[in-house]
Structures are given as structure tokens and as C-alpha cells.
Structure 1
Amino acid sequence: MLKQLSLWLALSAVLSGLATAADYAEFTTPGLAKAQITHSDIAPLITYYKEQDWLEVTELGRSVEQRPIYLIKIGDGERKVLAWSQMHGDEPTATAAIFDLLAVIEAQQKQQAATGEGGPAWLDDISLYLIPMLNPDGAERNSRFNALGIDVNRDALALQTPEGQLLMQAAKKIKPHYGFNLHDQNRYHGAGDNKKPATISLLAPAYNEAREINPSRHAAMQLVSAVKPLLDNALPEQLGRYNDEYSIRSFGDTFSGMGISTVLVESGGQYNDPFRQQARQINVQLYLSWLEMISTGRYRDFDLSGYNSIPMNNSGGMKDLIISNINLPQADGSGVLARVDLAFTAGGNGRGQAVLDEIGDASIYGGYHTLDASGMNYSPGKAYPLTGPLSLSAEKYLQLLADGYSHFSGEAGLLTNSSGLPVAINPRGVNKPWPQRRSTSTFLLSKDSAVQLAVVNGRLIRLADASLLDAFSGN
């Protein structure tokens, strides 16, 4: 009884938009909180839902490499909604959210079966169609593109890919009134000038070069306006608006031109959230809110002021690490030449090698990790030569850093690193007196002639306790 009550409370919170992470945990599909979601991850879920009688699962068709692409249908209402995810294979957040949505709906169905109440209020009015992974071959490669190297979201015009053909065929057969185009965006997008990540960005795509507003696009804008209060509460100053430049080859723009009220959802980065789980939760809440509003028509009560007030995405507005107020030395070491900020980004959407991409004034950027280095002096550090085998313990490494060695030179195979900390071997650009853009990400920071911090391959080490002050785990 207590477990049933707990489930009911969590379900009520999710449906009301007041859910916590603990509430969502009741409906979070296991195994999908990771950077890459492939067909093998969703196949067991598809098998499970095929056996349920409250929805229909059919195979829409096959990818280039003959992986199945599925269509899930829920309800038989007059208003038709089509949503698709992972048309870019390396953008999995919405795929996880779709299966969480199914878990919420299933809980509603079970509650209704047990009590006669609590079923989805929108179910009589809406037919919901879901394509949870349009590009399974790209997902397998963790790639934006399909197996032919084609961007499926640039194939709405030529329809050269089977994946694009299937999506277009589905749209023409279903004739949806509303479309949800579900993506992930680069974690370096900021929400306007807020110096915060755009954890969610929304857009009602243009249907022509002039970016005019016809009735279908107007409705899409109203849908965005209607959920803005929810997002402002859940993500203060972290909601962005995607660029609405017309793209004739893209599906969102094409569907908008076909009279489908289309909303683009882009899931972005968040602090200390390596696998975009907050964006995943927000996606579920967006879907539930829109289904309710489409069912009742309540979104029509909103004008476009909410949509137009959302700040535009600031491309490159976020950095992985910003170290500010570093003293750079005169060439002869006689004093301070300049005080600068250094900003780093890590390739692979936060999971690759960190590089220095900004020197000077980084005050316009937000950082996932920041450090004020006021009073600290920059030094490229010395190279410790590997002339024979070296087993590097944490204690030995910290002493080398304290002695002014920032990196190693020689044969990498001679070093056994047991310190648990990053090391740099033969790094580029460290033989310069000052940091070098796009190369130098290994150096020392000293105060009162004592090394306080070491930056090694863009990772920040505090010597006092051998801790890593950043976490380039990606978002």
C-alpha cells in the first residue's frame, strides 16, 4: 500500500510539473543514463511494449544497415502528434525521455485499471505517434550522420536516405497536426548573455526564407510560449531560442511548410550533469504539458510574447574551464606583463582533450568550472626527462610539480602513472614563456614562489590535497 501511495504521489508530481528528481526516478527507464544509446539499448524496451495492449508498436522500416526503425502509436484521438528522436545518432537525450514518457503513461494506465481514475486526460483527444530512434546506424557509431555519411536532417528535400524517406512517408500518411523534432545541441551554447548553459532551447522553425508566421507556425510559437513559465521555474536563465534561419533541406522547416505545427527541442548542457539527465526530465515534462494543452486547446490562450522574449542561443557562450586573473610574466621574468583569463574547451562535447581557446578577457563567457587565480603567476614549467623507467606515485608526482616540473619528455612507455592524476608527456607549446592558443594546456600557477596549482592537459590539480578541481566529464 505504501509503495502504491508513493507511486501515486510521484505520478501526481510529474503530471503537475512539480516533480523532483526523486519523483522522476519512479519513471526513469534504467540503462539509458549514458552518453551513447544504441539500438541494442532500446530493443528490449520495444519487445516489452509490443506485448502491452494500450499502445501499438510497428516496424516503420529499416535503416541503411537494416536496423529496424519503430513507430509507436498511443490513442485514437482526432488531433495527431508526431515526435521523433535521434535523427542525429549522437543525440540520445530525447530517446531516453520518450521511454520515460511511456513509463509515465503506463503508470497512469495501471492506476486507472486499479481505481477507475487517473488515466491520461488527453488520450481521448490525441493520437500520439513516436519514432524513438530514427537513425540507429548513426547511434551505433555515436555519429551525427547515417551509415552513408549523410545528415538525415538535411535530407528532407532530396530524400536520399531510407531514414529520411521513412520519416517523410510517416508524416504524409499520418498527416500530423503537431510535430516535435527532438535533438541534442552542443553544450557550449549559452542562454543569451546569461553566462549560463542553454539546457533547453526551443524553436518554431520557419517555413520560408522570409520567416513569415502562418497559422501552423503561430500555433507552434504559442506552444513554446505556453511552456515558458514551466521552464523559467525549472531552469532559471537557462532557456534559449534556437536560430530560425530557414533551412530548405531540414525536416522541421519542411514540415512547418506542410502545415504541421512543429516545435524543435534541443537538449543542452547543465552543470555537473554529464549525461543530460535534467534535460531528459524536462523533456518528459514538456511532452506531458504539450499533450494536455493540445488536448484542451489551452495553448491558444498564450500570445507570442513569451516566445519572443526567450533569449537567442549564444553559440560558444560557454566554456568548460575558465581561470581568471592570471599574471603573465615579463619575458625576462622581472615582473608582471599582463593579467589575463584563460578559457578551455574539451573536444567531443566535453569528453575529449581540453585545449586553450581563449586568452585575454573571458568575462563574456560562462564556465562549467571556474577559478579566480588572482595573485597567481603563470609558468610553463620544466620538462622532467624520462631517461629510464619511472613509477609515478601521487607523492612523487606532487613533489615534481612543486619543484616546477609540469610535464615529462622522452619515451612515454617509460612512465607508469600510479598517481591517479593526469600527466603530460611531450606536450605541444610548452617551450614558450606564455600560453599558446589551441596548444598550451599544461602549465603551473604559483603564489609567493610556491606552486599552488598545476594545469595538465587542461585538468586542474590542487597540490595541497592532490585533488582535481574540475570534472571534464562532459554534458
Structure 2
Amino acid sequence: MLKHVSLWLALSAVLSGLASAADYSKFTTPGLAKGQITHSDIAPLISYYQQQDWLETTELGRSVEQRPVYLLKIGNGERKVLAWSQMHGDEPTATAAIFDLLAIIEAQLQQQAATGEGGPAWLDKITLYLVPMLNPDGAERNSRYNALGIDVNRDALALQTPEGQLLMQAAKQIKPHYGFNLHDQNRYHAAGDNKKPATISLLAPAFNQAREINPSRHAAMQLISAVKPLLDKTIPEQLGRYDDEYSMRSFGDTFSSMGISTVLVEAGGNYNDPFRQLARQLNVQLYLRWLELISTSSYRDYDLSGYNSIPMNNSGGMKDLIIRQVNLPQANGTGVLARVDLAFNAGGNGRGSVTLHEIGDARIYGAYHHLDASGMDYSAGKAYALNEPLTLSRERYLQLLADGYSHFSGNAGHLTNNTDLPVALNPRGVNGPWPQRHASTTFLLSKDNKVQVAVINGRLIRLVDGSLIDPFAGN
């Protein structure tokens, strides 16, 4: 009994938008908190829901490589809502959120069956259609594109892809009043000039080149205005508005031109959140709130001031790491030539190669991680020649770094690294007196001629205790 009470309390919190992480975790679908979600991840979930009588699961059709694309139908209301996820195969956050939504709906229905109350209030007003993972071939490759190398979200007019054909076919058959186009955006978008990541960005896409506002687009803007207070409270200064430049080949703009009130949702980065679990949770909260607003038509009470006040996405406004106030030496090695910031990015959601993106004044950027290097001097460090086998213990490696060796040169096969710390083998761009854009991610930072921090392949090692700061693992 206590377990059921706890579940219903958590459910009430989630539905009210007041959920804690613990409340939300009770409805988080296991196995989807990762950077890549493929068809094999959702297949057992689809199989489970095919056996439930409160929703209909049908196969819309097949992808290029014959993976099934599914359509889930919930409710029998007059107002029709269509939502689709993972049109880009490497954008999985909303797919996870859709299955969390299903878990919440199922919990509501179970509560209703047990107590006679608590079911989804919108079920008799809305018919909800969900397409989780429109592009399963792209998901398999962790790629934006489908198996033909085509961006499905640029195929709304030519309909050259089976995936695009299936979505358009669904839209024309269902004739939805509302559409939710669910995506991930790169983590380098900032929310305006806030120097904070745009964890959620929203948009009511334009339906023509002039970006006019017709009744359907107006309704989409109102839906966004209505959820802005929730997001402002949950992620202060981390809500952005996506660029509304008209894209005639894109599905959101095309559906908008078809009179569908379409909302684009872009899940973005957050601090120490590599798999975007906060954005996942917020997606669910948005879906629940929009279903309530649509079922009651209460979104019509909102004007467009909320929508228009959302700051525009600032593309490139975030960096993964900024090392501030580094002293660069004079060419002759005596004195300080310049004091600069070093801004780094890493691709692949923090798991790709690190690049030195900018040198100079980085004050206009936000960053997921900062290091204040005031008073520290830059040096490329020395190369330790691998002329014979070398086994690195942690103590030996830290001593080499302290002695001014930043990297190893020669036969990489000679080096055995028995530490948990990164090493640089034959790195490029480390020979000059100053860092180089797109090259220098291995160097030393010293104070009073004593090495304080070793930056090795973009990872930071503090020599005082040998601790590793990995600024690219948690974005």
C-alpha cells in the first residue's frame, strides 16, 4: 500500500510540474539514458505496448533498410495531435521522453482503475499520435541522415525518402490540428546573451518566406507562451528561441503551411548532464502541459508576449572549456607577451577530439567548465623520447609532468600506461612557443616555474594531487 501511495504522490508531482528528480525517476523508462538510442532499444517497448488495450500500435511502414516505423494512437478525442521523434537519428532525447510519457499515462490509467479517479483528463478530448524514431537507420548509425545519406527533415517537398513519405502520409491521413517536431540541438547554443546553455529551445515555424502569423502559427506561439513560466522556473535563463528563418523543405515549416499548429522542440545541453536527462524530463513536462492546454483550449488565454520575450538561440555561445587569463611568453622566453583566454570544444557530445577553438578574449562566451589560470604561464612542454620500453606508474608520470614533459615522441608501442590519466603520443602543434588554433590541446601551465596544471589532449591534470578534470565528459 505504501508503495502505491508513493507512486501516486510522485505521479501527482509530475502531472503538476512540481516533480523532483526522485519523483520523475519512477516513470523513467530504463535503458534509454545514453547518447545513442537504436531500434533494438525500443523494439521490446513497442512489443510491450502492442499488448496493451489502452493504445493502438501500428506499423506505418519501413525505412530504407527495412526497419519498422511505428505509429502509436492514444485516446479518441476530436482534437488531433501528432508528435514525432528522431527524424535525425543522432537526436534521441525525445524518443526517451515519449516512452516516459507512455509510462506516466499507463500509471494514470492504473490509478483510475484502482480508485475510479486520476485518469488522463485529456483522453476524451484529444487523439494523440506518436511516431517514436522516424529514422531508425540513422539511429543505427548515430547519424543525422538516413541510410541514403539524406536529411529527412529536408525532404518534405521532394519526398525522396521512405521515412519522409511515411510522415507526410500520416499527416495527410490523420489531419492533425497540432504537431510537435521533436529534436536535439548541439550543446553549443546559448540562451541569448545569458552565457548559459539553451537546455530547451522552442519555435513556432514560419509557413512562408515573410514569416507571417496566420491562425495556426498564432496558436503554436500561444502554446509556447503558455509553457514559458514553467521553463523559466525550472531552467532560469536556459530557454531559447530557435531561428524562424523559413525553410521550405523542412517538415515543421511545411506542416505549418498546411494549417497544422506546429511547435519545434529542441533539447539542448546542460551542466554535467552528458545524456540530456534534464532536457528529457522537461520534454515530458512540456508534453503533459500541452495536452492539458489543448484539451481545455486554455492556451488561447495567452498572448504572444511570452513567446516574443524568449531570447534567440546564440549559436556558438557556449564552449566546453575556457581557461582564462593564461600568460603567453615573449618569443625569447622572458616576460609576458599577452594574457589570453583559451576556449575549447569537443565533438561527439564530449567524446570526440578536443580542439582549441579560439584564442583571445572569450568573455562573451559561456562554458560548461572553467579554469582560472591567472598568474599561470603557458609552455608547450618537452617531449619524452620513447627510445626504449617505458611503463608508466602514476607516480612516475606525475613526476615527468612536473619535470616539464608534456608528451611522448617516438615509438608508441614502447609506452605502457598503467595510470588512469591521459597521455599524449606524438601530438601535433606542440612545438611552438604559443598555442595554435585547432592544434594545441597538450601543454603545461606553470606558476613560479612550477607546473600547476598539465593539459593533456584537452584533459586537465592537477599536479598537486594528481586529480583528473575531464571537462568534456559531462556536457
TM-score normalised per structure 1: 0.99
SS at match of 1:376: strand
1:362 — aligned with what? 362
In structure 1, the residue matched to 2:47 is 47
Q: Secondary structure at the match of 2:95?
A: helix
CA contact (8 A) 1:369 1:470 kept: no
Matches within 5 A, 1:54-65: 54-65=54-65
Q: Is the 8 Å Cα contact of residues 152 and 161 (structure 1) preserved in structure 2?
A: yes
TM-score (norm 2): 0.99
Give the 3-state SS of the residue equivalent to 1:153 in structure 2. helix
Matching residue of 1:232: 232
1:27 aligns with 2:27: yes
Tell me the equivalent position of 2:448.
448
1:316-346: per-residue Cα shift (whole Å, max 9, x none)? 0111110000111111111011100000000
Whole-angstrom distance in 2 between the partners of 1:349 and 1:215 = 38
The residue number in structure 2 matching 1:385 is 385
Query: 2 CA distance for matches of 1:216 and 1:174?
Result: 17
- Indicate the residue corresponding to 1:430 in structure 2: 430
1:34-73 alpha-carbon deviations (Å, 9 max, x no partner): 0000000000000000000100000000000000000000
Distance 2:108 2:139 in 1: 30
Residues 1:329 and 2:329 are matched in the alignment? yes
1:470, CA displacement in angstroms? 3.0
- The alpha carbon displacement at 1:353 in A equals 1.0
- Equivalent position of 1:75 in the other structure: 75
* Structure 2 gap ranges (5+): none
- Superposed, which structure 2 residues align to 1:82-161 within 5 Å? 82-161=82-161
State the distance in 1 between where 2:108 and 2:393 align. Answer: 55
Q: Secondary structure at the match of 2:375?
A: coil
C-alpha displacement at 1:438, in angstroms? 0.6
1:97 offset after TM fit, Å?
A: 0.1
Shift of 1:469: 2.1
Distance between the aligned counterparts of 2:188 and 2:401, measured in 1?
A: 31
The percentage of aligned residue pairs carrying the same residue is 83
**CA distance in structure 1 between the partners assigned to 2:398 and 2:77 by the alignment:** 66
For residues 178-202 of structure 1, give each alpha carbon's deviation from its aligned partner in whole angstroms, at most 9, with x where no partner exists: 0000000001111001000000000
Once residues 297 and 318 of structure 2 are traced to their aligned partners in structure 1, the CA distance between those partners, rounded to angstroms, is 37
Residue 3 of structure 1: aligned partner: 3
CA contact (8 A) 1:270 1:278 kept: yes
2:92 aligned partner, one-letter code:
P
Query: Is the Cα–Cα contact under 8 Å of residues 274 and 349 in structure 2 kept in the other structure?
Result: no
- Match of residue 318 from structure 2: 318
Which digits, 9 at most, give the CA deviation of each residue in 1:245-292, with x for residues without a partner? 000000000000000000000000000001000000000000000000
Whole-Å Cα distance in 2 between the matches of residues 268 and 314 of structure 1? Answer: 12
Deviation for aligned residue 1:349: 2.9
Amino acid paired to 1:390: L
- Please report how far the alpha carbon of residue 448 of structure 1 lies from its aligned counterpart in structure 2 after TM superposition: 1.1
Is 1:189 the counterpart of 2:164? The answer is no
- Partner AA of 2:265 in structure 1: V
**Distance between the aligned counterparts of 2:79 and 2:436, measured in 1?**
57
- In 2: Cα distance, 1:363 partner to 1:469 partner: 22
| Separation in structure 2 between the aligned mates of residue 92 and residue 280 of structure 1, nearest angstrom | 9
Structure 2 CA distance for partners of 1:235 and 1:453, relative to 1, 3 Å? same
**Whole-Å separation in 2 of the counterparts to 1:41 and 1:141:** 14
> What do the CA deviations read for 1:210-235 (whole angstroms, capped 9, x no partner)?
00000000000000000000000110
Paired with 2:286 and 2:168, the residues of 1 have a C-alpha distance of 24
Aligned to 1:296: 296
One-letter amino acid of the structure 2 residue matched with residue 317 of structure 1: G
For the 8 Å contact 1:321–1:470, the answer to whether it is kept is no
- SS of 1:373's equivalent in the other structure is strand
CA apart distance, 1:474: 5.1
Runs of 4+, deviation exceeding 3 Å:
none
- CA drift of 1:348 comes to 1.6
Given that residues 321 and 471 in structure 2 are in contact (C-alpha distance below 8 angstroms), is that contact kept between their aligned partners in structure 1? Answer: no
Q: Deviations over 1:165-190 (max 9, x none)?
A: 00000000000000000000001111
Instruction: Write the letter of the residue equivalent to 1:256.
Output: S
Q: Partners in 1 of 2:239 and 2:233 — Cα distance?
A: 10
How far apart are 1:465 and its partner, in Å?
1.1
Report SS of the residue matched to 2:327. Answer: strand
